Amino acid sequence: MRNRFVQTVSELARDNSNLFLLTGDLGFGVLTQFQQNFPDRFINAGISEQNMTSVAAGMALEGKLIFTYSIANFATARCYEQIRNDVAYHRANVKIVAVGGGFSYGALGMSHHATEDIAFMRALPEMTIYTPADPLETEAVTRAAASQDGPCYIRLGKGGEKQLYKDGALVSYYEANLLRSGKDTAILVAGAIADQAIVAAEILAMAGIDCAVYSFPSVKPLDKATILELADKMDYIFTLEEHNIIGGFGGAVSEVIAEQRTRAVVVRMGLNDEYTSMVGSQSYLREYYGLDGESISKRILNKLKF
Amino acid sequence: MNSKQLAWRIRRHGIEMTHLSRGSHIGAVLSIADIVAVLYNDVMSIFPHDPKNDLRDRFILSKGHAGAAIYAALAEKGFFDVKELSTHYSNGSKLSGHVAHKGVPGVELSTGSLGHGISVGAGMAIAAKRDHKEHKVYVIIGDGECDEGSVWEAALFANHYRLSNFFVIIDHNKLQSLDLCENTIELIDLGTKWRAFGWDVIEVDGHDHEQLRNALSQNKGEKPKCIIAHTVKGKGISFMENQVLWHYRDPQGDNYDNAIMELEASRDEE
């Protein structure tokens, strides 16, 4: 996802001399391509995310299109007020790109796990939030963010995420993308953990349950039409995210359902309001917190049985 | 109108605005009145009827609580009607206590939380540099504001990128919200600090217009410029000067009458 982002932003920079990339001293080996091709439009702001974010706002107010790049918590929580007052309130054309959504950084520890970022970014007026699930969605949302005026948050995984769509598939940056069709129930997912939703659906199929999987590359604005359509047809819809179940994608879906008379009950799957204090790789942590394909399928099965 | 007259009007409006609104921060307004007057009258390129003109110099008041001084300067310079000043702080007004950009022509940035304006200004300055534009960026920060770590992040950044078009003016009145700066968090020697961060530093009497004009008009070297303006909080009203009480207090009753009397007397002296 990181590489596809940098490749896309480099392509965009070729056609737009106003595009700048700012980093908080992160992206070793990843941002090199951009830096070499556009040395005047690459700015390393040092390890100072508060300053970087306000500098980005100042440049954007002068007509520049700015991408800031850092690890998720440093790009958001560390400089939240700078995002709120300088970027969002002034509707500055700043795209905050965060790597390491969820447990991507595995054994590095909780400081590097982004598990509340969607919640606090979602609370900001003017902020668009993208949570791509794979490289193709990453390219789609990066292009969308560059073409929209105003602040965006792009939450990436790390590197090496599987491509979930066929090469050249047309994926939407806003509408839910269908990863697997199904009529009994549905998993709605935000982010790279979509791969586990597909595994879960495959396991459920063996148990005779036809489970659809939809990826939501945009959490804000949210494709309400698809949510309501599914909620009218099904008894349960499940949300999945590598994030606290409070305030994130599952929260956003629940808000949509709560405001309408629908058939479905929403079950949110994610971190149950806790920090990731366990040490381990991303896949180990997913398993530990019940967010791997098998655990997800068991949870869905239990719910549908009763 | 010369800069002295503009400074006097900023003070007069400041007293009136905080009196009418029962709003605060008159001490800071009086402290920066001369700096603001020199900037708007003699130093900056401004376009009151075309406030977004690309040739304008950019100005940010990072210590947004002294916003009344900026509103007064902008109104006196013709950005909007002076009558609007009386709405300051009131329901439905555009003129909030901390300086705001929405609906107020001439304000580049809404501030109020300290330690933001200098970084946004650095962003504007680097954008101008990369575009080879000639305009300058001026930011007023407070001495107490230097407690904020982000100020020093910006100080490092502006030096590293050689933002010679960037002017930071420190309103060094030695008082902050509750007490003297030195009794709050010791700043020790601001000049030495900013020099060590790679800036050109000039120390001036922040109420001496000639000194301010010279410092704010310098145009040489590669370094960003830090003007340490030694000021008096509450300057111009004897009983407000150097009094921490007048950070938050608004002038009412005898205080208001005496303030106006003192100001009117100083006007005659001009």
Extents of the domains making up chain A: 2-155, 177-305
B149 close to A (CB below 8 A): yes
pLDDT of residue A15: 97
Q: Provide the phi-psi class of B174: left if phi over 0, else alpha when psi is between -120 and 50, else beta.
A: left
DSSP code, position A87: I
Contacts of residue A70 in chain B, CB cutoff 8 Å? none
Q: Which domain holds residue B124?
A: 3-269
Kindly state the helix (H) or strand (E) to which residue B20 belongs, with its residue range.
helix B3-21
The chain-wide mean pLDDT, for chain B, equals 96
pLDDT of residue A160: 87
Structural tokens at position B58: 């950019």
Q: How many CA atoms lie within 13 A of B53 on its CB side?
A: 13
Number of domains in chain B: 1
The chain-wide mean pLDDT, for chain A, equals 96
pLDDT of residue B54: 97
Contacts of residue A62 in chain B, CB cutoff 8 Å? 123-124, 127-128, 131
Contacts of A103 (CB under 8 A, 6+ apart): A113, A115, A242, A276, A282, A285, A286
The pLDDT of B254-260, averaged and rounded, is: 96
B191 close to A (CB below 8 A): no
E strand spans, chain B: 58-61, 137-142, 166-172, 200-205, 225-230
Rounded distance, CA B106 to CA B198, Å?
A: 31
The pLDDT of A141-156, averaged and rounded, is: 98
Cα A175 from chain centre: 14
Interface contact flag, B124 A59, Cβ < 8 Å: yes
Q: Provide the phi-psi class of B47: left if phi over 0, else alpha when psi is between -120 and 50, else beta.
A: beta
Question: How far is the alpha carbon of A48 from chain B, nearest alpha carbon, in Å?
Answer: 6
pLDDT level of residue A84 (50, 70, 90 thresholds) = very high
List the single residue in B101, B116, B124 with the smallest CB-CB distance to A62. B124
Interface contact flag, A58 B153, Cβ < 8 Å: no
Rounded distance, CA B78 to CA B48, Å?
A: 6
* CATH code for position B7: 3.40.50.970
- Residues of chain B with pLDDT > 90, as a percent, come to 96
The pLDDT of B117-141, averaged and rounded, is: 98
Rounded distance, CA A292 to CA A102, Å?
A: 13
Rounded distance, CA A139 to CA A151, Å?
A: 17
CA dihedral A201, A207, A209, A215 (to 10 degrees): 0
Interface contact flag, B127 A64, Cβ < 8 Å: yes
Chain A interface disruption, residue of B136, B153, B159, B161, most A CBs within 10 A: B153
Question: How far is the alpha carbon of A306 from chain B, nearest alpha carbon, in Å?
Answer: 53
Choices 3.40.50.1820, 3.40.50.150, 3.40.50.970, 3.40.50.2000: CATH for A2-155:
3.40.50.970
pLDDT of residue B219: 86
Interface of A with B (CB under 8 A): 20, 40-41, 43, 45-46, 48, 50-51, 53-64, 81-82, 85-86, 89-90
Interface contact flag, B153 A46, Cβ < 8 Å: yes
Encode pLDDT of B56-102 as tens digits: 999 999 999 999 999 999 999 999 999 999 999 999 999 999 999 99
The interaxial angle of helices B253-269 and B3-21, nearest 10 deg, is 170
Contacts of A96 (CB under 8 A, 6+ apart): A53, A68, A75, A76, A83, A87, A151, A152, A153, A154
Lowest-pLDDT range of A19-23, A51-55, B104-108, B265-269: B265-269
Contacts of residue B126 in chain A, CB cutoff 8 Å? 43, 55, 58-59
Q: Provide the phi-psi class of A91: left if phi over 0, else alpha when psi is between -120 and 50, else beta.
A: left
Q: Which residue has the higher pLDDT, B269 or A208?
A: A208
Interface contact flag, B109 A90, Cβ < 8 Å: yes
The pLDDT of A195-223, averaged and rounded, is: 98
Interface contact flag, B127 A56, Cβ < 8 Å: no
pLDDT of residue B268: 58
**ipTM > 0.85 (yes/no):** yes
Residue in chain A nearest B120 by alpha carbon:
A58
- Residues of chain A with pLDDT > 90, as a percent, come to 96
pLDDT of residue A89: 98
Q: Please count the other Cβ atoms lying within 10 Å of the Cβ belonging to residue A202.
A: 14
Q: Please count the other Cβ atoms lying within 10 Å of the Cβ belonging to residue B261.
A: 12
Rounded distance, CA B162 to CA B198, Å?
A: 9
Rounded distance, CA A29 to CA A24, Å?
A: 14
Given a cut of 70, is residue A306 above it in pLDDT? Answer: no
Rounded distance, CA A199 to CA A292, Å?
A: 8
Whether residue A81 contacts residue A57, with contact meaning beta carbons closer than 8 Å, is answered with no
> How many contacts does A have with B, using Cβ atoms within 8 A?
88
The pLDDT of B253-268, averaged and rounded, is: 92
Q: What's chain B's length in residues?
A: 270
Encode pLDDT of B182-213 as tens digits: 999 999 999 999 999 999 999 999 999 999 99
Q: How many CA atoms lie within 13 A of A108 on its CB side?
A: 12
Interface contact flag, B110 A82, Cβ < 8 Å: no
pLDDT level of residue A159 (50, 70, 90 thresholds) = confident
Question: How far is the alpha carbon of A240 from chain B, nearest alpha carbon, in Å?
Answer: 36
CA distances from B184 to A68, B231, B232 (A): 35, 18, 18
Lowest-pLDDT range of A119-128, B93-102, B146-155, B190-199: B93-102
- CATH (residue range A177-305): 3.40.50.920
Handedness of CA A242, A248, A249, A251 (dihedral sign): positive
Q: Are strands A211-215 and A94-99 parallel, antiparallel or unpaired?
A: unpaired
Residue in chain B nearest A56 by alpha carbon:
B123
B98 close to A (CB below 8 A): no
Given a cut of 60, is residue B269 above it in pLDDT? Answer: no
